[in-house]
Structure 1
Amino acid sequence: MSNNEHNDLVLESMHELRYFNQQLKNFSEQLSIELRSDKVDQNKTIDMKVQQADKVRNLATNIVNLSQLFTTRIDFIDVELNPNAVEQLPIQNVNIYGKFDKAKKMLLALSRKKKVKVNIKSEVKDGRIIEAYSIIDILPYLLLDNAVKYSPEQNDVDITFVYYNDCVKIEILSEGPFVGADEIKKTY
């Protein structure tokens, strides 16, 4: 890896980690508001309605999920810097449909703000279990985050799962801004 590629990797990674940190901060602030954490040490139980309790549970789940994304992104950086590091990562059973569904839930506030609807279409709701390196966790989040972030307001992001005997095809369709050839850093 050249010095420029290394610098680009560090800058891109820092950008993503800052973004994750901002999301984590937002979720934590929302959770503090819902729990009225400014009223600590009053020896009183927290009284809340069912809807508020569900919101608190969702925020707590999003904080845990985002924390897992931090770990996954750091592992991903290790692999980018040292491709042999992937051999040290655990292989796990992954419900890929579940990973996209989790990412959709984590991005619910952003999609509501942008008025973008995320639709997941699948023949099987629980999906197929695949074996994959743990760094796969970050992929659904980054793909959906970009799709929602760059979609014009009041548009849909459609994710379709097609199951074959030995693989799963995942298609993400969304409208976004034109990206010129000069803006594309890497081609695969």
Structure 2
Amino acid sequence: MKQFYLSIILLTLLSCKRENPNFTTDESFRNIQIDKGWKIYKNEKVNALLPSNWKPKVENDLILMVPIDKKQNLFYAVLEHNIVEVGSIKSYVKNVFKEVSEKHNDLKYTINRVMFTNNKTCYLLTLYFSENGHLYKLYNALYESQGKIYDFVYRTINNSATDKTNYETFIGVMFTLKYNNINVIKGESDFLKKAENIKYEDL
């Protein structure tokens, strides 16, 4: 199987040992090789690399939906919104926090605002919360391009033993996803200009 390479931004971001690394170093970028066990998933509009055991479900209002564990509501999803419908990417980020915080009083989070040399911005969120006695971690990337907001969501178990693998999976799918034959995020050209850890109040 063909080997796939990605330019990965902030690969160590959100690790359990380094929640706030120095984003300006060369370590913020890495070339990683996606495991040969991953598969190419295609439908009429979507082309992406996915873990081989994932079974996507087609839903009309989502670009991608992969149920992983229905009992614990674990999933990977990609949504698309018109910017005119949500106001701005900052407004959308605030709405994400409002929705999650209303459901989970114990919510903790990190936000990283990433600015690229093409003047586009991506918000990388990690949300921590408990539900029915279990600890969860929600990875969320919000990216604005050509009047659209692309919303990547990966709900996982909060477990330090699998954090690195889960984050690499989250980023790997995000950087390989093509929608209507176009990479949503062009990993080879969207180079990092600046990245910073921010608070909700900074939005």
Tell me, yes or no, whether TM beats 0.5. Answer: no
> Which has the larger Rg?
1
TM-score (normalizing by structure 1): 0.23
> Which of structures 1 and 2 has the larger relative contact order (alpha carbons within 8 angstroms, sep 6+)?
2
Bigger proportion of residues as helix: 1
TM-score (normalizing by structure 2): 0.22
